[in-house]
């Protein structure tokens, strides 16, 4: 890399991207910022949040003395991320918009736009690292801050997307990032981390989805077949969910809380089980499709690995085996809770993220062995 190269940093208005820009400038790169607007609707609260974020990004750019570009990728986001996720919700699955957003917006639309502006590299405030294997392929590495590590959200990136990417926060912890931001004079040094759906933000999830998905109420049924209540729509629930069931306080079923164990799509019934570790919530494995491998090829044979089912989920030792039709079977060494179809399973070899796939089917204990 030539440190005189132009790097365009995706400035979101948050502290992570701000410190990323400062670090790159300190390393001698020519740095410019780009603020992405990826969601548009008639929600006044969302619009105000976006403008506040842009004001924060502008303050960062002014403090650093760098140009700040602005681009609108809302059409691409709606078509390539949001509509896909709505289809998954309608089918009863649980998609992850952040993963698609990284693949198709931040490292496609943003990358293409940055190249048109003359960028040699792009950078973001993700907590992850980039390395290189013995064959010269780019590798995706865990961040030093394990609590913030975001490789789970980045597993769909290709060699072409990783080649121009820079992740300056790979070796820093979040407290260190905030300390740098405070010392440099960024007004957003104590700004809370963003939460909720990527670029849409934190909001009443059920009320938001109702604007886009037609749902039909149905029965909430125990794993024993007893009707316990009514759900507002299967799309609003995911495996392992506790909140929103409104089943508390039953005199005939005292004690442990209820959790979503399954969905009967044909019968429009939500199946629930009582107790955090009820057997109906536990699986020894899964089958996943739509696999993406960071190196572009993936393993030829069965491998040992660790796997994550969710961001910040503890790594679970497992064995990964190739099946027919680009399907893979993952068997955990010990039963794993709340495996949700539609979510991503991401696999690792030590510090290196190998890739991942979309969970299609859960494997109960008797089916896995």
User: Tokens 């729509």 label which residue?
Assistant: 233
Instruction: Name the strand (E) or helix (H) holding 89.
Output: helix 83-90
**Residue 252 φ then ψ, to 5°:** -85, -10
The candidate with the shortest Cα–Cα distance to 286, out of 217, 207, 339, 350, is 339
Q: Is residue 198 flagged as an active site residue? A: yes
Interior CA angle at 100 toward 96 and 105, to 5°?
Answer: 140
Please provide the DSSP assignment of 132-195 as one string: E-TTS-EEEE--S-TTT--HHHHTT--HHHHTTEE-TTTT--HHHHHHHHHHHT-TTTTPPPP-
Annotated catalytic residue, options 48, 85, 101, 353: 101
Annotated catalytic residue, options 48, 85, 198, 305: 198
Q: Is residue 85 flagged as an active site residue? A: no
Q: How far is CA 15 from CA 60, 178, 187, in A?
A: 9, 7, 9
Beta bridge partners of 222: 272
Q: Give the SS3 label for residue 40.
A: coil
Report, as residue numbers or ranges, the catalytic residues. Answer: 101, 198
């Amino acid at each position: 890399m030539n440190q005189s190269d132009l790097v365009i940093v995706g400035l979101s208005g948050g502290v992570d991207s701000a410190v990323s820009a400062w670090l790159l400038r300190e390393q001698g790169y020519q740095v410019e910022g780009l603020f992405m607007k990826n969601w548009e609707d008639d929600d006044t609260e969302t619009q105000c949040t976006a403008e506040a974020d842009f004001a924060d990004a502008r303050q960062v750019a002014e403090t650093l003395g760098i140009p700040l570009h602005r681009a609108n990728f809302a059409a691409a986001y709606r078509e390539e991320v949001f509509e896909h996720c709505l289809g998954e919700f309608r089918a009863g699955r649980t998609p992850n918009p952040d993963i698609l957003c990284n693949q198709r917006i931040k490292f496609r639309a943003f990358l293409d736009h940055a190249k048109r502006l003359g960028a040699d590299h792009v950078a973001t405030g993700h907590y992850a690292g980039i390395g290189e294997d013995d064959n010269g392929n780019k590798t995706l590495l865990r961040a030093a801050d394990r609590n913030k590590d975001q490789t789970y959200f980045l597993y769909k990136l290709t060699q072409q997307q990783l080649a121009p990417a820079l992740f300056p926060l790979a070796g820093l912890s979040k407290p260190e990032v905030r300390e740098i931001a405070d010392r440099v004079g960024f007004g957003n040094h104590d700004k809370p981390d963003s939460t909720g759906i990527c670029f849409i933000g934190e909001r009443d999830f059920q009320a938001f989805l109702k604007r886009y998905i037609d749902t039909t109420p149905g029965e909430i049924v125990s794993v024993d077949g007893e009707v316990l209540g009514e759900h507002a729509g299967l799309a609003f629930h995911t495996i392992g969910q506790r909140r929103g069931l409104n089943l508390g306080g039953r005199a005939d079923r005292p004690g442990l809380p209820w959790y979503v164990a399954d969905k009967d799509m044909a019968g429009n019934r939500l199946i629930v089980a009582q107790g955090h570790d009820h057997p109906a919530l536990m699986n020894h494995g899964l089958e996943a499709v739509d696999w993406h491998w960071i190196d572009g090829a993936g393993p030829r044979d069965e491998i040992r690995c660790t796997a994550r089912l969710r961001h910040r989920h503890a790594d679970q030792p497992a064995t990964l085996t190739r099946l027919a039709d680009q399907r893979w079977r993952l068997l955990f060494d010990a039963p794993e809770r709340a495996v949700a179809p539609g979510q991503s399973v991401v696999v690792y070899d030590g510090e290196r993220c190998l890739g991942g796939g979309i969970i299609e089917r859960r494997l109960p204990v008797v089916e896995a062995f």
